[in-house]
Amino acid sequence: MSKTVKQDLATDSYKLYEFSNNLGYIDEKIPDDVYKTILDEIDISFREKHPHNTKLVGNIEEQYYMSWRDNLKLFKIENYLRGLAGIYEKKFNYTQSMGNQIMSLNEGMSFDLRLRNCWVNYMKKYEFNPLHNHSGLYSFVIFIKIPYNLKDEFNSLRTQNPQQRFPGCFAFYCANGMGEFTPHVIEADKEWEQVILLFPSITQHCVYPFYTSDDYRITVSGNLYLNPVSKPAVSYY
C-alpha cells in the first residue's frame, strides 16, 4: 500500500478556475525561493543555447532547453509542481476521470510525477504560438517578463481579424456545452510576472503576438509525466 500525504504549498495565494467541461487550471505567484531557482536555470539555458524550437509548434525563433542538471534544484522545482498538481487533483479528480491513478496502477508498482522536459521562450514582436496542446499529464507556463502594456496592445489594433483580437494574451480554448471551442483569455501584463499556470496537458491553448515592444516576452514551459517507481512512493494527492 502506498502512503498518501498532503503536500502544502509555500503560499496560499493560488486560485482555481473551472472550464465548462469540468476541467480548468490553477495559478499562483511562485514563492521567491522557488522563483530564484527558476531564474538561475534560465541564465544557464541562455548561456548554453540548446535550441528547442524544432521540437515545438510555436512560430518563435528562440526557445532553449532547460536541462536541470543540478539534482537539488530539480528536486525543488518538481516538489513545488507536485504540490500544485495535488491541489488541482483534489479539486478536479483529474487522473481518476481519465481512468488513471497516480499511485498503484498495478499491484506492486507506484507512480510519481516527474518533470521530463522544460524550456524557456524568448518571444519577439509579431511571433506567436498557435493553438496546440502538450504531451504528459500536466503542463505549465511561468511568466518571467512581460515587456508591454496591454492597454497599448489593444489600442494598437487596426483589424477585426479574430486571430489578432487578443494581442499579447494567453488563451485556453475549451469546448462548451454545444461542442464549440470558446476562448478563456488571460490578459497577462507586467503584474503576472512570477506567476505560474498549471493545467492538464490535453488542454488546447495559444499565445497571441504582441506589437508595441522591441523587448523579449519571456516565459518558461514544461510538462509533468507519470513516472513508475519500483517501490511504494509518497503520493501528493
Residue 88: which region, alpha, beta or left (left: phi > 0; alpha: psi -120 to 50)?
A: alpha
Instruction: State what percent of residues in the chain have pLDDT above 90.
Output: 61
Lowest mean pLDDT among 59-73, 89-103, 155-169, 212-226: 89-103
Sequence-ordered list of residues with C-beta below 8 angstroms from that of 43, at least 6 positions apart, any chain: none
Q: What pLDDT score was predicted for residue 234?
A: 47
Mean pLDDT of 40-64: 89
Q: What pLDDT score was predicted for residue 156?
A: 83
Amino acid at 22: N
pTM of structure: 0.85
Q: What pLDDT score was predicted for residue 232?
A: 46
Reported as a single tens digit per residue, the pLDDT across 61-105 is: 999 999 999 999 999 999 999 999 989 988 888 876 655 444 434
| Nine-digit cell string for 99 | 481512468
Reported as a single tens digit per residue, the pLDDT across 174-201 is: 877 677 778 899 999 999 999 999 999 9
- Rounded to whole angstroms, the Cα distance separating 50 from 2 reads 38
- Rounded to whole angstroms, the Cα distance separating 185 from 106 reads 39
Per-residue pLDDT at 225 exceeds 50: yes
Domains of the chain (ranges; CATH) run: 13-229 (2.60.120.620)
Amino acid at 225: Y
> Does an H or E element contain 224, and which?
strand 217-229
